[in-house]
Structure 1
């Protein structure tokens, strides 16, 4: 199939692109290579994909460029769109809200409009477990209400789900929203805990655990994310004949629209997560316990029964095995980078000299 993958140089996007190329699909990738974090990591992901599966068509384009998106759809005529590009990050949204409006709202509208004018068989897009917000009942089920987001990032993801529903209803576009739960693995983003924690442990720096380390997260290994996504591609939603307007299911609809949780259904305390990183890095962490950060969800746990029912698959890679694979990549990739190679968001990480980077 002709598949357009947005965010193809991103963490999930690169892994997804590699899998689709290996499965024989014709992939066109889109990415703007912005500097939210070091663009060199994005470029290295692309080289990794190319080393594993050969060259592919990759366009440098911003989601907010409506005419550019329109021209791309007119040229490529994708049969399926996998929309993974977005402005990510909860804490970044506190200081940079307009980036989320431009990318996650304006950019998503451009994708919907392009799918409207150039009909596709299926639009799959990344949502987030962050949409559950203040919901205290776990595991989170797709039937739960998501009316109290705790960050603009979460609000933008819920808005995506609502925007997709309106276009599914009005124009018959089959859309599927994917609520990812704490994705981790090789080639991950440097603003996420695996790289930040591994960097702190490796260098003997204080490791900051917010909410005094009492958070629980449903960590989901990247290969499980990609497997779930690929299995959903041929399952374009149709109108649910059993949908009841008087007792409606928030995860289904009279429109060709669906929502799925993609998570491992095995929440882990952050203290246990750190212990596994210590084990695989063979280093001891210096832990600094801090209060809850604004915008953070207390705990996450996915009810992925709808995903299992639809695809016959449930994320299955254990955190121990997933972190073992992540640490092997981390040690190799960052072996030659300076001590400050991974910094907090808002600062540009220092890239290793080009000749020192290796495709793994």
Structure 2
């Protein structure tokens, strides 16, 4: 099928483009190459995908540019949209909240409007485990309420789910929302802990471990994320005929709309995660223990049985194996950062 992937130069987006090309889909990418982090990494991801699977068309434009998005849909007529572009980062939303309104709300509205005006068979979009917010009941289930977000980023992702539902109900757009849990792996974002921690350990710099390293995360390797997306491409949701207005299922609807968790289902305490990084790097960390940061949730753990029932797949790559793959990439991509301390002049 013809698939539009937004955020195609991003971490998840680049891996997704590579997988979909290898699966034989006709892939069109979109990215704005913004400066949230060094755009060079984004360009390098695109070169990596082109080297592995051949060149692919990539449009540079901003999601908030409604006429440009409309023109792209009118010209290209994608059958499926995998919408991964967004302003990411919990803590950055405390500093620059308007970036989240422009990208995550206005930009998503432009995608929905274009899917309405130029009908698609399936819209898959990225949500986040952050939507569970103050919910302390784990594992997090798509049946749980998500009405208490702890950051603006999380609130925009919850808003995306609601916006998608309204368009699905009003205009019959088949929409699938994916709540990703702490995605990591090669080509990851430099603002995320794997690269931040690996660079700090390699360079002997103090590493900040918030909540004194006691909170847990359900780490999900990037290959498990893209495998899930690839299996959902041709599984557009249908209206749930058994949906009960008196006892509504939060993960489905009388509209063609679904939600899934995608998570490793094995939460790990950050101290354990750090110890694995130290093992693969062969160096000890210099740790600075600090209190919990504003906007952070204490623990995350995905309940992903709905995904397994729908696709026959659930994430399976263990953290030790995934971090080993990540560190192998890190050593190659950041060779200066990885020079052992004893070798430095």
TM-score range, shorter chain: over 0.9
Once the two structures are TM-superposed, the CA of residue 338 in structure 1 deviates from its matched residue by 9.9
- Per the TM alignment, residue 332 of structure 1 is displaced from its structure 2 partner at its CA by 0.6
SS of 1:100's partner is helix
How far has the Cα of 1:219 moved from its partner?
0.1
Alpha-carbon shift at residue 24 of structure 1 (Å): 1.0
What are the residue-to-residue correspondences of 1:85-234 with 2, within 5 Å? 85-234=85-234
Q: Secondary structure at the match of 1:194?
A: helix
Alignment match, 1:241: 241
Structure 2, unaligned runs of 5 or more: 340-345
Question: What SS class does the counterpart of residue 168 from structure 2 fall into?
Answer: helix
User: CA–CA distance in 1 between the matches of 2:139 and 2:270?
Assistant: 17
**Cα deviation 1:70-127 (Å, max 9, x = unaligned):** 0000010000000000000000000100000000000000000000000000000000
| 1:6-17 matched pairs, under 5 angstroms | 6-17=6-17
Which whole-Å CA distance do the structure 2 matches of 1:57 and 1:338 have between them? 34
Question: 2:148, 2:203 → 1: CA distance?
Answer: 38
Question: Structure 1 length normalisation: TM-score?
Answer: 0.93
The corresponding residue for 1:275 is: 275
Counterpart Cα distance in 2 of 1:242 and 1:233: 24
Q: Write the distance in 1 (CA, Å) between the matches of 2:228 and 2:338.
A: 36
1:310 maps to 310
Contact 2:199 2:337 in 1 (8 A): no
Gaps of at least 5 residues in structure 1 are 340-360
Equivalent residue, structure 2, for 1:353: none
| Equivalent position SS for 1:78 | coil
Q: Could you tell me how far apart the structure 2 residues matched to 1:283 and 1:331 are?
A: 13
Match of 2:335, SS state, is coil
- Which residue matches 2:75? 75
TM-score normalised to the size of structure 2? Answer: 0.97
Q: Secondary structure at the match of 1:179?
A: strand
Name the CA distance, whole Å, in 2 between partners of 1:336 and 1:318: 28
For the residues of structure 1 that align with 2:184 and 2:31, how far apart are their CA atoms?
20
SS at 1:260 equivalent: strand
Secondary structure, aligned partner of 1:47: helix
Q: Tell me, in whole angstroms, the C-alpha distance in 2 between the residues paired with 1:258 and 1:267.
A: 24
Q: CA deviation at 1:140?
A: 0.0
Distance of 1:73 and 1:239 partners within structure 2: 25
Query: For the Cα contact (< 8 Å) 2:203–2:337, is it kept in 1?
Result: no
Deviation at 1:337, TM superposition (A): 5.9
In the TM superposition, what are the counterparts of 1:44-59 in structure 2 within 5 Å? 44-59=44-59
SS of structure 2 residue aligned to 1:123? strand
* Change in 2 beyond 3 A, CA 1:197/1:337: closer
- 1:138 and 1:187 map into 2 onto residues whose CA distance is 29
Q: Deviations over 1:18-43 (max 9, x none)?
A: 00111111110000000000000000
CA RMSD of aligned residues (A): 0.9
Post-superposition CA distance 1:314-352 (Å, at most 9, x none):
10000000000000000110004699xxxxxxxxxxxxx
CA distance in 2, matches of 1:336, 1:232: 39
Alpha-carbon spacing, 1:329–1:207, altered in 2? closer, same or farther (3 Å): same
